[in-house]
Structure 1
Amino acid sequence: MTSYKLNNKNLSKFTDKVLIPEYDRSTIKTGIVHVGIGGFHRSHEAYYTDQLLHDPANSDWGICGIALLDFDTKIYNTLKEQDGLYTLIVKELDGSLTKRVIGSIVEYLFAPENPIQVIEKMASDDVKIITLTITEGGYNYNEATGAFDFTNPLIQHDFENPQAPKTIFGYLTQALKLRKERGLAGCTIQSCDNIQGNGHMTERMLLSYVNKAEPDLVPWIKSNVSFPNGMVDRITPATSEKDITLLKETSGVDDAWPVVCEPFKQWIIEDNFTSGRPAWETVGAQFVEDVVPYEKMKLSLLNAGHSVLGILGALMGYETIDESVHNEAIRTFLNTYMDKEVTPTLGDLEGVDLKKYKQSLLQRFGNIYIKDQIDRICSESSAKIPIFILPTVNVQLEKNGSIDYAAFVIAAWAIYSIGVDEKGNALNIKDAHGTLLKEKALVAKENPASFLDLESVFGKLKDSKKFVDAYSIAYQNILKYGVEKCVTQMNNKALNNI
């Protein structure tokens, strides 16, 4: 099949093979600046916004995508070459593909190349919302204290070089300062990351930075900027070369970086916007007064479930999440963890059938066409585990409930952090604290509990004898018997206790 490079000029050539934007992109005005234009943003917020833009009444809500880090050079260059266009490939449960070109990113900027241009765009009066997908680690807080980490060298750089910042906090501070100085309206800063109370977290961390960098700006921010909480959900694995080739061969679309995702999507948002907002509810988002119960459910079931499958599966030599969940022993272990340890911490969830939700998660994890890479799921576990798993542990400890399954996962993570699976193969560990984790993991071979000394990850968890004992037993058993035999034994024990 003849293929054509994806760009505005060639869009009409794809109409019989893929869905394309049915709106005039040249008339779209930027109302949203988004920082972090990776796969998840492009499968989620940019998708919702693309659907919205098909109604001419919403033409003020185009997106300017910001590539914040040097690491983001590739995605910036790809979007620049493709006029901001990319293909979203939805991998349905039956193996079929729904392919759609997304057109909502109408501008794109590379922050390291021109930081002033990015600050000016954020400060533009046309921009009403600044949204973020900067990963859990991007919020720069210490898990043990909950405080902003002022020791981060990049933060120190931003204090000294306010016009050439490197962190989101430096950019937001200078943009909001310009808005204030120019007498412009405030805006909404909306996190789309997997952090409970992500709006509250964004506000607290930003104000911590501003209080030191531009203290006179704090009252203005408190009066003119809103930080809605939100819960986001759509499994979006890394794009493979196979995905790129298949798209080109079956649809004639030469897209350097398409996005693949599952069919399920969810976006629940606190309706707290300073200067107006898109009507995302017309394309499937849900606006509520209180997001907390929903995000707690999602983080402690879906995100924690991903981490459980990733860590245990990695040690057993699996490469993708569907392989891990189709191992009956691991699947049963995860099911029991969700039922026995997570569910008792969730309370009442109005309008949610929790049993069906948990069943749907196992189905989604098991989608054999998604092929979500385990090393992606396990990346930055030092930032994820305190958010996804430890809140469940802490509540269960307070209630004197079960923590054995969570302790087992943490023990498995300690062994995983050594960097070798049970077959002797090297693990591809991606973590900002990878070197420190490995150092602690090697010491833990002689003294398992020493891994819990990582206060920035575990807080004061090492002070709980109940947890330390369960963790230490699990650690020794995994080393002695391997993951599969241990989880099978735990499953059998749970079955016998019913």
Structure 2
Amino acid sequence: MGVGLPDSPRLNREGPEPNIGIVHLGPGAFFRAFNAVYTDEAMQLEGGDWGIAAVSLRSPAARTQLEPQGGVFTSVTLAPEGLQPCVIGSIARTLVAPEDPGEVIATMADPKVKIVSLTITEKGYCTLPSSGALDLGHSDIAHDLLHPEQPRSAIGFIVSALDARRKSGCAGFTVLSCDNLPSNGSLARAIVLEFARQRDGALADWIESAVSFPATMVDRITPATTQDNIETLAEIAGYHDPACVFHEGFRQWVIEDDFADGRPAWESAGAQFVTSVEAHEMMKLRCLNGTHSTLAYLGYLAGYGTIADTVANPDFAALCEMLWREEITPTLEQPDGEDLPAYCASLLERYRNPSIQHMTWQIAMDGSQKLPQRLLGTIADNLKIGRDPKGLILAVAGWMRYVGGQDESGQPIDVRDPLAAALHKASDNAQTNAAKVAALLEFDNVFSGTLTENARFRTLVTQAYVDLVEMGAKAAVKEMTTA
């Protein structure tokens, strides 16, 4: 079947669009496979005006895909028994922020909007990864402080919209972070307030009293949609949908129930509302995201294209089990309603699902932003009590080898990272393996002083890097799991 799929009609909405109650920043695949699905199900079950205005902060791709079909798209579950498509209608409007920033601000400032949610990835928060503080030197933040009517960053849009609401006498909204960051609600609150203080102290005070920032934990493996996926859906469903998303059946959304002005009945769709999400989010960040990143870097270096391919090697599966048992779960509190060993066992089964073609290269993106939350905090907690987390340190060495830009066969790696050029230069300019590690440890926006000043950490990560260079990833993982 050709790329244009001329014989398949375009998917289109049947019936009216829902009234908008949510603005979402970052309408990528995960949002469509997760937030939009929960919201669609909640409206079907309990009603309410919770349609979503989906705002892209950069690319017009989401609008190009969604607008011609009235905002509807297909959510496809990759189930063991086959594909399970479902048309989702919660997106009522799509906007591209750079084309008309004022329209985005006006949409967010509309008093009918109760929630502004985010899936903008770690780098979208414009923070210093090692500390989580707002990076006032970030080009987008500096621009937005000077040009509040034409913001570029999510933070700039949120604060400008809240300023408009304050001036019009409107209530605040809830800022709902749905990114894989520790204490994502507290982080969003801190950087919004800091940005607002840079503009106007009175505005910051109003936001502090009028806006809520609940933390969340989100979980659903969502590979990048391919042209083959789009064509497969056309074959089984009989329509063309370039906005479709493919994802695993499992999903989990844990949310602190602290909303400024109402919310959808997401619990009717299976969301868990709790007083504190901290233990759940740490479980997910360290158990799932930590091992995902480990498999991404070491698996890519070993020549594996997907997570399923990687854990099909029993040594890599054993590495995950060792990490969970010896290095990760000992650093965690038991979340309410969870069984940590059972949770980890279920993760390995999810990783092994051959229907989930989750690319190691995709997960490896933006590692400089992800390492502190996914790996480095766990390493620091282990070292603090005198335990050598050699498996997690091997993962960090894998990242260091990866950002050097050349794989084990000498082929170039397409490294996608905000610091890619600087990381590659630092590695390339160093003459020895030990010097390469030392140069990368100098990136204090990735590595905290707690780690770089720890002689044991420096020794272990240097040895792990040397092992990867001399033995290769497969042999290094095998040695780690059979030692």
Q: TM-score, normalised by structure 2?
A: 0.96
Determine if the alignment matches structure 1 residue 341 to structure 2 residue 346. Answer: no
Structure 1: distance between partners of 2:136 and 2:336:
40
Match of 2:346 among 356, 360, 372: 360
User: Any unmatched runs of 5+ in structure 2?
Assistant: none
Would the aligned equivalents of 1:6 and 1:254 in 2 still touch at CA under 8 Å?
yes
CA offset at residue 350 of structure 1? 2.7
Aligned with 2:44: secondary structure?
coil
Q: 1:14-33 residue pairs with structure 2 within 5 A? A: 24-26=15-17, 28-33=18-23
Deviations 1:318-343 (A, max 9, x none): 11111111111111112101111101
What is the aligned partner in structure 1 of residue 423 from structure 2? 437
Structure 2: distance between partners of 1:353 and 1:144:
30
Q: 1:96-495 residue pairs with structure 2 within 5 A? A: 96-444=82-430, 446=432, 447=435, 448-460=437-449, 461-493=451-483
Would the aligned equivalents of 2:130 and 2:372 in 1 still touch at CA under 8 Å?
no
Aligned with 2:418: secondary structure?
coil
Structure 2: distance between partners of 1:146 and 1:299:
16
Deviations 1:129-161 (A, max 9, x none): 000011011111113343211111111111221
Determine if the alignment matches structure 1 residue 5 to structure 2 residue 10. Answer: yes
1:444 to 1:237, Cα distance in 2 relative to 1, 3 A: farther
What is the aligned partner in structure 2 of residue 17 from structure 1? none
Would the aligned equivalents of 2:306 and 2:358 in 1 still touch at CA under 8 Å?
yes
CA offset at residue 400 of structure 1? 1.1
Structure 1: distance between partners of 2:95 and 2:243:
17
Structure 2: distance between partners of 1:116 and 1:488:
55
Aligned with 1:237: secondary structure?
coil
Structure 2: distance between partners of 1:143 and 1:88:
33
Deviations 1:366-409 (A, max 9, x none): 11111111111000011111111111011111111232111111
What is the aligned partner in structure 2 of residue 14 from structure 1? none
Deviations 1:253-280 (A, max 9, x none): 1011210100000000000001011110
Would the aligned equivalents of 1:340 and 1:402 in 2 still touch at CA under 8 Å?
no
Aligned with 1:164: secondary structure?
coil
CA offset at residue 31 of structure 1? 0.7
What is the aligned partner in structure 2 of residue 39 from structure 1? 29
Structure 2: distance between partners of 1:176 and 1:466:
47
Determine if the alignment matches structure 1 residue 60 to structure 2 residue 49. Answer: yes
CA offset at residue 443 of structure 1? 4.0
Structure 2: distance between partners of 1:146 and 1:263:
32
Structure 2: distance between partners of 1:345 and 1:59:
41
- Percentage of pairs with the same residue: 37
User: Any unmatched runs of 5+ in structure 1?
Assistant: 12-23, 494-498
The residue type paired with residue 459 of structure 1 is S
The residue type paired with residue 311 of structure 1 is Y
Structure 2: distance between partners of 1:300 and 1:42:
24
Structure 1: distance between partners of 2:131 and 2:248:
36
Structure 1: distance between partners of 2:83 and 2:19:
31
Structure 2: distance between partners of 1:381 and 1:307:
8
1:160 to 1:183, Cα distance in 2 relative to 1, 3 A: same
CA offset at residue 41 of structure 1? 0.4
1:293 to 1:145, Cα distance in 2 relative to 1, 3 A: closer
The residue type paired with residue 244 of structure 1 is I
The residue type paired with residue 52 of structure 2 is I
Structure 1: distance between partners of 2:306 and 2:334:
33
Structure 1: distance between partners of 2:345 and 2:455:
33
Would the aligned equivalents of 2:43 and 2:264 in 1 still touch at CA under 8 Å?
no
Aligned with 1:142: secondary structure?
coil
Q: Relative to structure 2, which stretch is displaced further, 440-449 or 43-52?
A: 440-449
Q: Relative to structure 2, which stretch is displaced further, 344-353 or 189-198?
A: 344-353
CA offset at residue 285 of structure 1? 0.2
Would the aligned equivalents of 1:187 and 1:225 in 2 still touch at CA under 8 Å?
yes
CA offset at residue 46 of structure 1? 0.3
Structure 1: distance between partners of 2:418 and 2:448:
18
CA offset at residue 108 of structure 1? 1.4
Deviations 1:47-67 (A, max 9, x none): 001111213x52311111111
The residue type paired with residue 10 of structure 2 is K
Deviations 1:261-302 (A, max 9, x none): 000000000000010111100110000001000000000010
CA offset at residue 349 of structure 1? 2.6
CA offset at residue 444 of structure 1? 4.9
Structure 1: distance between partners of 2:112 and 2:473:
54
